[in-house]
Amino acid sequence: MPNDTDVPLSACALGRGSRISLATVYSFMCVVGSVLNLLVIYLVVTFKKLRTASNAFIVNGCVADLLVCAFWMPHEAVVTSTGTFLVIGYQAFKEALLFLGITVSLLSHSLIAVNRYVLITKTPAVYQSLYQKRNTEWMIAGSWLISLGSLLPWITSFRYPPERCRDTEDASFPKGTSVSVLSSRFAAGTLAFTIIGQTWVVVYCYFKIFRRVQTSVKRVSILNFQIVNNLPYSFPRKDKRLGFYVLAVCFIFILTTEPIFWVLVAGLFAPVPVVLWTSTWIVFCTIFVSNPFLYTWKNEEFRKSFRSVMRGDFLRGSTVGVEPITINTISHIFPRQNSRRAFLVVSHVLDLPSNVLFKVGDRRNLTCSMSSCPEKVKFVWRSLEDKPLFAAIKSQDKESVLIFDNVMKDLENSIVCKATCQKETKQATTKIKVYSFPSNPVISGYDRLKLGEENILGCEVSSVYPSEFLKVQWLYEDKVLQTLEEEPERGVHYKFTPSSEDDGKAITCRASLDVNGIPPEEKIKETSVNMTVLSAPHNVKVSGATAVPLGSSLNLTCEAEGKPKPAFTWTALKPDGQSVEMGKHQDLFVHNVSLSDAGTYQCDIRNEFGNQSASVSVVVQAPPMDTLIEASPQSILKEGDSVSISCKSSGVPVTRVVLSRRVDGEKKELMSSEGAETSVPLFSVKLADSGVFVCEAINEYGRQETTLNLTVEAHLLEVVLTPDEVVLERGSSLVLSCQASGCPQPKFSWKNLSNTPKLRLIETDGFQSQLSVNLVELEDEGTYLCEVTCGSIKKSKQTEVKVFSFPSPVVTNSGPSLVGEIMKLTCTVQEVFPANLFQILWMDGEREMLSGTGSFSSGTTNLTSVYSYHVDTGDQDKRITCKVSLEMHGVPAAQAVKTASTTLSIHYPPRVTRITVSPLTELKEGESMKISCLSDGFPVGRTVLNRVVDGIQTELRASDGFETSFAIPSVELDDSGIYICETSNKYGSHNDSVEITVKAPPRNMTVEIFPSTDVQEGQNITICCRSVSFPPPAVVLSKLDSEKNVYSLDGVFLLINLTPNDTGLYQINVTNYLGYETEIFNINVMEKRVNPPLDWNDFLMPATYLGVATAMLGVVVYVLNARKKGSYDLTKSNPSTV
């Protein structure tokens, strides 16, 4: 539902002169507001001292004000002055940014007021906790998110304006195209609620602030409220008239915001006069221009930063901070004093130290005195930074003392002390610095250093301030190991790799705070500790005799170094892999050593940092024992086998072993070696190798021997040849296998008893031999013999091999034939053997038509058979088969018969061509249609479907073959015509045709009116109506409020000499028997008239706004000239006093 305030906002409700005046005001406010807001944003971003929480809210408001001043106002000035409008979407975007800027700017006022309220009325801890950087960022982001959320309903409900209007001066000026955001009841109500809500917050906070200030003198010194400082009253009267000032500020604020609030509320229920709406809106817009001026004009830091920019100090690299107080500065504090005085003559001395250094936690005082004043001096303390003083004030006649009960880090500040004596005021500035260095460093990690590894020693210096001046050093034996002068975040760490010599030695961490003014005894603090180096066991060794006689004692000692002291464990490792713990002492003692005590003994040393081990092998001295002789694989062998005879002694260490054979009662040495083992291999043993073998082991304590009886036996031989008989085709593979049994190493040989050709591939593997022929030829036919020899024994076997050649037959014909011709068929079989066993049959299906046999030949022969056939149309695609058979014993049935076939191909030209249409040949527009074309002929040719319209033939579909189709899902009028299907091949062609008609009701009607639907009285209008239909329609023109109808065959109507009575709605009806279509349009005939002259009211508003703008510009010029005449630069004077 539109808001009633939308009508005054539209340019339709204002005259041309008023629009020009309004555009001038918008332009002036755009320039001034953009410059002031950009200047404040630049100063805060550029100068570090201005980056405070309060100034962040001020910058947030300036950004929102820029949306109104720098974006909305120039667009509105152009639209209002020219009467032209932006694209409707961009216009809506402009109005949305206006609403966003207004809402965020108003919320920023509330954020600034609440910030000052917490600063003045709450404790510093509460202020610092609430206005942390992250919280401040969330507050600013929340102001934008709330405004966007309030704007969303208007954007989603936006519609294009349907109406147009015409004012008395410009008949073509559109109404409603301004798309004002305040046309929405929701947006207007939201803006009214925001205005009244932030007004309540601002008034409440400011009244609370000044009420607290009036009841607490010490809080006056921390008040840094820029709006109040802007009021043009002399400084000595400020403290007495704070209540009046806040009333004045609130009155000014209410004066600019409340009128538009009541207009918005009233517009929700009734129309608002244009003059009232325009006036309140302009007054409300001034708040976006004046906001940066109100909040920063009397702020000391802003003024210093601005002067630095104007002088160019910032570009030259100079800093902006607490600058010396000049006569110009004092003249702003005392604006009512005589401006003709060049500077103030000061006769009293104000005593205040320029720099003081306090220790955190102490109770300290700061005294400002003027002892030369004969009267009671009035002192005022003020913070130059955006923070409280954190101190109590105790003032006497000639001095004032700031009492700091408990010095904190946040106390650092630049403070101004102002003293007034006999109407003369002096001020001095002091810089308060704070330091904290309460305790000695604390060293960690020194008592558990690991030997040979990189360890980290930590030195923590707590509660140091300012930490950027802290220097930490590591010292070892009066030598500096490391120096760190950067600010430590979590203590200082030193990487140290100790050696065993470092155990028990001292290491020192020394911390020094290099801040001017700290007492020498407090500048350096250090801590020394003795290091403890821990290590795993190392330098392990085992001592004692490792070779002991049988029955004696064994004594072993294990030694190692390590811290803490390691534990010892002795373990015996048995030959079978088992381990037995022998004790947990450094010494190992074993009485009456036996053979089982020989082996490996391991000493394990461990502590909490690791473990080490050492092992020794113990030998028990005794004569040879457990001497063994054995034959592998066995002692009973077959003739021709191989055997290995081994001799070894494993009981005790031996020096020599001898392997011999006993022949005729005497030993014949076969092999001897130094050590405990030897062996002799015997290959292809014979019967004579049977006998007794002796193994003898010898050492320095005695000897031992054992014997072995070796037996050799004879073998039996059997031969098998497979297969017994072979019949195979030429070109196939042949494999004959001969296998021998009962002989360990048989010898094979092959022979061909028929014609003894060169044998092919022979492979022998152990007890089997194979004769292989990859490609069998006719000469491979015959009898094959396999002979096996085993020693003096020979045995043989033979088999018969038969070969035949039977390639696949091939059938050829004389090619395609026309009906009635004779076709010759030829069947050929190349290189057959034996030829006299082959027979050829010609088959028509299962019917035999011709047969023949081959003649005898000793080699391969080619068999050929010719068959002549008279073709007819019924023989198309008939298959004729040539069947060849081999009558030979042993040939597999699958290889005894082979066939070959051919298909008869009969050619003829196309015939019986037919074209069909489904469902009908007469159709309505939009129905579906399918055209099919079918013919018969061979070989397959080409089918083409054409459409003929007005003698012009168009190809629709072409395909290879005698069948095709063409479908139209939705026919149109253009699809009417004659359709021809034509088929052809190399022997001729044939065609068929059909006619198709498509009918449709009138559609796509267009109505054109020349020259326009809006004409002057006495002009003519030509109306042209066109449509698409079949059969042709009838066209009727009628006026809706009249019964008169006009008919036309070609759809053209001419209306001559129109009068205002012809204004109205007209209808055109286009009809045939299938349907009709109509269109309604409006014709407006306007009377001729003369525009009235401009009224004096059209010049009243421009003159008023121009006068106001001239007056404001004059005030600004006057203030700038006054500042230039009365200012002096005393930057070289004493910065502490004036």
Q: Alpha-carbon distance 135 to 304, whole Å? A: 28
Residue 1109 lies in a domain: no
pLDDT (0 to 100) of residue 325: 32
Q: Alpha-carbon distance 84 to 90, whole Å? A: 13
The last residue of one of the domains, among 853, 888, 904, is 904
pLDDT (0 to 100) of residue 552: 87
Alpha carbon separation from 1084 to 161, 167, 649, 1011, 1069 (Å, rounded): 21, 18, 135, 12, 21
For residues 556 and 518, state if they share a domain.
Answer: no
Residue 1135 lies in a domain: no
Q: For the ranges 221-230, 726-735, 852-861, which has the lowest average pLDDT? A: 221-230
- Residue pair 586/562 in contact by the 8 Å Cβ criterion: no
Residues written for the chain: 1138
What is the pLDDT averaged over residues 708-726? 84
pLDDT (0 to 100) of residue 368: 94
pLDDT (0 to 100) of residue 246: 54
The last residue of one of the domains, among 749, 780, 804, is 804
DSSP reduced 3-state for 286: helix
Residue 962 lies in a domain: yes
Alpha carbon separation from 675 to 415, 623, 631, 650, 694 (Å, rounded): 103, 14, 19, 10, 17
CATH of the domain at 393: 2.60.40.10
Q: Alpha-carbon distance 495 to 501, whole Å? A: 17
Higher pLDDT, 728 or 651: 728
Q: Quick count: other Cβ atoms within 10 Å of Cβ 330?
A: 18
* CA-wise closest residue to 560 among 543, 584, 578, 541: 541
- Banded model confidence at residue 184, pLDDT cuts 50, 70, 90: low
For residues 799 and 823, state if they share a domain.
Answer: no
Q: List % helix, strand, coil for the chain (3-state, nearest 5).
A: 30, 40, 30
Alpha carbon separation from 971 to 469, 956, 1027, 1030 (Å, rounded): 93, 14, 18, 13
pLDDT (0 to 100) of residue 757: 62
pLDDT (0 to 100) of residue 1118: 56
Q: Which helix (H) or strand (E) holds 450?
A: strand 449-450
- Range among 178-192, 511-525, 1123-1137 rated most confident: 511-525
pLDDT (0 to 100) of residue 875: 77
Res 400 pLDDT > 80: yes
Res 1132 pLDDT > 60: no
pLDDT (0 to 100) of residue 9: 42
* 476 strand-pairing partners: 479, 507
pLDDT (0 to 100) of residue 213: 61
Q: For the ranges 182-186, 442-446, 623-627, 900-904, which has the lowest average pLDDT? A: 182-186
- Domain residues for the domain of 777 are 718-804
* CA-wise closest residue to 929 among 1001, 1031, 997: 997
For residues 237 and 152, state if they share a domain.
Answer: yes
pLDDT (0 to 100) of residue 429: 92
- Residue pair 944/1019 in contact by the 8 Å Cβ criterion: no
Res 933 pLDDT > 90: yes
- Banded model confidence at residue 944, pLDDT cuts 50, 70, 90: very high
Residue 329 lies in a domain: no
Res 225 pLDDT > 70: no
pLDDT (0 to 100) of residue 439: 86
CATH of the domain at 103: 1.20.1070.10
Q: Alpha-carbon distance 444 to 512, whole Å? A: 19
pLDDT (0 to 100) of residue 595: 78
- Banded model confidence at residue 228, pLDDT cuts 50, 70, 90: very low
pLDDT (0 to 100) of residue 388: 84
- Banded model confidence at residue 223, pLDDT cuts 50, 70, 90: very low
Residue with tokens 């002692």: 635
Count of domains forming the chain: 9
pLDDT (0 to 100) of residue 622: 82
For residues 741 and 687, state if they share a domain.
Answer: no
pLDDT digits (tens, 9 = 90+) for 294-352: 777 667 778 778 887 877 655 444 333 333 333 233 233 223 333 333 233 345 788 88
Residue 156 lies in a domain: yes
pLDDT (0 to 100) of residue 1123: 53
How close are the terminal C-alpha atoms of the chain, in Å? 66
Whole-model pTM: value is 0.34
For residues 184 and 61, state if they share a domain.
Answer: yes
For residues 455 and 424, state if they share a domain.
Answer: no
- Beta strands 906-918; 861-870: pairing state: unpaired
pLDDT (0 to 100) of residue 319: 37
For residues 937 and 900, state if they share a domain.
Answer: no
DSSP reduced 3-state for 1071: strand
What are the backbone dihedrals phi and psi of residue 905, each rounded to the nearest 5 degrees, phi first? -115, 115
pLDDT (0 to 100) of residue 1120: 59
* CA-wise closest residue to 168 among 15, 9, 273, 17: 15
pLDDT (0 to 100) of residue 171: 31
Residue 278 lies in a domain: yes
pLDDT digits (tens, 9 = 90+) for 472-503: 888 888 888 888 876 665 678 888 888 878 88
Higher pLDDT, 656 or 183: 656
pLDDT (0 to 100) of residue 1130: 30
For residues 449 and 581, state if they share a domain.
Answer: no
Higher pLDDT, 325 or 523: 523
DSSP state, residue 239: T
Residue with tokens 């083409």: 944
For residues 173 and 296, state if they share a domain.
Answer: yes
Q: For residue 1121, which amino acid is it?
A: N
pLDDT (0 to 100) of residue 603: 93
Res 659 pLDDT > 80: yes
DSSP state, residue 85: -
Res 956 pLDDT > 70: yes
Res 981 pLDDT > 90: yes
Higher pLDDT, 16 or 914: 914
The last residue of one of the domains, among 852, 880, 904, is 904
For residues 595 and 737, state if they share a domain.
Answer: no
Give me the percent of the chain exceeding a pLDDT of 90: 6
What is the pLDDT averaged over residues 734-762? 82
For residues 252 and 123, state if they share a domain.
Answer: yes
For residues 427 and 446, state if they share a domain.
Answer: no
Residue 1138 lies in a domain: no
Residue 160 lies in a domain: yes
pLDDT digits (tens, 9 = 90+) for 835-881: 888 888 888 877 787 777 766 566 788 888 888 878 777 777 888 89
Res 560 pLDDT > 60: yes
Higher pLDDT, 1091 or 615: 615
